[in-house]
Chain A
Amino acid sequence: MSDLVLVLAVAHRDARQELRSRAVTVATVFFSGITVVILSFALGPDPDDLRRAAPGILWVALAFAGVISAAQSYQNELAEGAFEQLLISPIPRAAIYVGKLLANWLTMFLLGLLLLAAIVILFDLPLGRGGPLLAATLASGTLGFSLIATFYAALTANLRARESLLPVLMFPVVVPVLLAAVRATETLLGPGQATGNPALAGPWLQLLVGFDLAYLVVCTAIFHFVVEE
């Protein structure tokens, strides 16, 4: 079988697992929703303030939910010894990583779309003409998160204190993603959009794509050292 088929098979398997454990999916969605609400309460009732903070709120909620969902994707595996089976099978480690990455990315991207819609409605934000660029920001930003989250979740999956360890390890690495994604979203959404123009999102999107490409190479290349028996 070609590696692409294997990657898709792993991704399909993971995505299906994600969808079947409905309780977990619902919990993750509501967790990110609650994060948005909590942050809004913390920032105060001024609608203008909230509109300005909206891109940050979106990405913080997405980042928190992304960590949980990536950690969860390995917990299901370890509980039944399924991951060992996967490692024994003649699938290259890199294909396992990319497959799990695709599933995590898809989950995070869909969650991002949902959150975006919720925030646009909650904070009454103008969407404007930045739609396609906003989707590109969401896609490249969530890919950046998923790359690191999928990688480090495998590393921490069978360690003690993994719940707090995973964010400690991954957040300092994904700071550029968070920063670039928030800044790009700012230029495309909300009060900044009225004055600014979508061209301002360009450099931030380039940073996101550069990050994604670099870590796709690095993480795929060294993933087999993480899960080696």
Chain B
Amino acid sequence: MNRAKRPLWLSGLGLATLLLFGTGAVLALTVSPPDVNQGELIRIMYAHVSVAWVCFLAVGISALFGGLYLWRGRAGHDAWAVASAEGALLFAALTIVGGMTYSKPTLGVYWTWDAKLTLTALLLALLVGYFIVRALIDDRERQGRVSAVIMLVVLASLPFNYLAAEWFRTLHPAKSINLDGSGVTMEPAFVRILLFNTAVAVLAFSYFLLERVRLGRLESARQDEAEREGPAGEAVHV
């Protein structure tokens, strides 16, 4: 079937992502000067911070499409929601790995109960729960509905988990970029490279997302076929 072929533009996006990823790595590893306080460790920051931002972006996108699915009930929205959730899972795991890599040389231990890292660990657990529940439900309509509900709860849990984790104990390097717009306390050279790497991370996520949505569509088309051909009446509705 022709539908199964990856469209050319998607392959192009993948290739462009790979090239830009290489550029970002060169910028972070060789072009960026060492930091006054953190020295060479600043190079971990480029990968870690960009990946962390994208992880939370992915949760937002997944919850958005989950909400759309609940509202409109279109299977396509569920495909986007689950694709984005998989991206969130991947980037959350990478964020934790990056955080631990950074934590060992600076604080002497791999795991600290730092607020943002704890928040990401909890998010990872929530996302794993999301996929366990998905795997346990056979009916596709119910699968999409329940997944969307869980993702909305996950989204709602983020501010509370962040607040709790921050009050619990925090060792994170002080915020250099305030998201509330009150300013940036980072050398412009660092900021530029960080933004470049963030753009690459967003691009990589977009590529994974589009590819996964494409696969998800093929998957459900295949399931539809199997349901039409195979013995009907097996699905158990609850």
Contacts and interface: CB of A to CB of B under 8 A. Distances in A.
Interface of A: 148, 151, 155-156, 158-161, 165, 168-169, 171-173, 175-176, 179-180, 183, 203, 207, 210-211, 214-215, 218-219, 222, 225-226, 228-229
B157 A207 contact: no
Given A176-B164, A207-B160, A218-B156, A165 B136 contact: yes
Contacts of B163: 176, 207
Nearest to A226: B149
Given A172-B157, A173-B126, A225-B70, A159 B164 contact: no
Nearest to B162: A176
Contacts, number: 79
B133 A172 contact: no
B148 A168 contact: no
B160 A214 contact: yes
A215 B161 contact: no
Contact of B122 (A151, A175, A214, A218): A175
Interface of B: 70, 122-123, 125-126, 128-129, 132-133, 136-137, 145-146, 148-150, 152-154, 156-157, 160-161, 163-165, 167-168, 237-238
A210 B157 CA distance: 12
Interface of B is mostly: helix
Given A173-B126, A207-B164, A226 B133 contact: no
A181 to B, nearest CB: 11
A229 B145 CA distance: 11
A229 B168 CA distance: 41
A222 B125 CA distance: 22
Contact of A226 (B122, B146, B160): B146
Given A168-B128, A173-B153, A203-B167, A156 B133 contact: yes
Contacts of B145: 225, 228
Contacts of A207: 160, 163-164, 167
A165 B152 contact: no
**7 interchain residue pairs of minimum CB distance:** A176-B164, A176-B160, A172-B125, A169-B129, A172-B122, A179-B164, A159-B136
